[in-house]
Amino acid sequence: MIVLRHLDHPPNAATGVAVALGNFDGVHRGHKVVIQTAVDAAREMKAPSAVLTFEPHPRDLFSPGEDPYRITPFRSKAARFQDLGVDVMVAVPFTRAFSQMTAEQFVAKYLVGGLQARQVVTGYDFAFGNKRRGDQAFLEAKADEHGFGLTVVAPVTVEGSDDKFGSSHVRRHLRAGSPVQAAQHLGAWWEILGRVRPGASRGHDLGYPTANLDLGNVLRPKFGIYAVRVRLEGEDQWRTGVANLGIRPMFEGDVPLLEVHLFDFDRPLYGRHMCVALVEYLRPEAKFESTGALSEAMDGDSANARRILADPAYAQDRFTG
């Protein structure tokens, strides 16, 4: 997959495309239908497929002091686009100047001039340009004017209900400590990616060595203990484990951290990248009277996590397909 940050001189392989437009934070099941529609259209036209999205998340620009909001960091989003068969990812820098660009300027610069789009695909609620004036009616008029096709994908709903798949639902479920419900919207377990950093070795002293990851600029799920699966950089298999996500009140921490203990694993991990999938919330963080009491609680957490992760209802591929 070609990744572009601007379209001043795009390669030929990134022009004449069928393109999906959207922020696509989370790349949830509704997003996947929009993207798959563009990929299918491209294949039918024997043209490249593309996704045009924005980096960073607009919330980072307009509300920089608020808690992290985004569900999917750049690397994860790119990987999911590639898995869906996208040929070209255009990650437009979302700056103050870009936010003031009119809808007319956006179409002229990116759709007509840069990508030379033959087919444009959006979700039913997508709007762009200054004051969000680039709505469906606007795109329909521009499609007629410039001769590109337009497909607006209808809402995609959760099976058996009228609830639409949406990023807001994913955020709500993660903040409530409901990773299964979040995964139902995402079509996959929600993941945290990061590089293992050195820690204080407290877990090792308790018999539970941990790999420590900074959370970065992503949404903070409910703090507590989770059953997790972990994939290490350079490996295809998913390993099982238990993790503490939060500020570690037992040790008076103040910076949120993910501490992962892998079951039946004793190799060093410092400096390696790892992907951690949150599978089930076990309990809130707690401050114990002694390290002995903490160790006993960790024994129970590990047993709980092993039981859950062995249950077919929590299989790694439960939401795929």
Domain that holds residue 18: 2-153
Same domain for 179 and 116: no
Number of domains within the chain: 2
Contact 245, 213 (CB under 8 A): no
- Any domain includes 289: yes
Q: What is the pTM (predicted TM-score) of this model? A: 0.89
Domain boundary among 107, 126, 153: 153
Q: Copy the structure tokens of residue 48.
A: 């490249």
- Residues linked to residue 92 through DSSP beta bridges, in sequence order: 54
Instruction: Establish if 102 belongs to a structural domain.
Output: yes
Same domain? For 95 and 56 the reply is yes
For residues 286-298, one letter each, b for 16 or more C-beta atoms within 10 angstroms of the residue's C-beta and e for the rest, the string is: eeeeeeeebeeeb
Residue 174 lies in a domain: yes
| Pair (139, 20) in one structural domain | yes
Do 39 and 115 belong together in one domain?
A: yes
Maximum CA extent, the chain: 72
- The mean pLDDT values, 10 residues at a time, for the chain of 321 residues are 93 96 95 97 97 91 82 92 97 93 96 96 92 92 96 85 86 96 94 84 65 90 96 93 82 77 89 94 85 83 96 90 52
- 187/234 same-domain check: yes
Q: Say if residue 138 is in the same domain as residue 182.
A: no
Per-residue pLDDT tens over the stretch 261-282: 999 998 888 889 999 999 999 9
Give the CATH number of the domain where residue 131 resides.
3.40.50.620
pLDDT tens figures, 65-120:
778 889 998 988 999 999 999 999 999 999 999 999 999 999 999 999 999 999 99
Domain assignment present for residue 54? The answer is yes
Helix-strand-coil percent breakdown of the chain, rounded to 5? 35, 25, 40
Cβ(244)–Cβ(284) below 8 Å? no
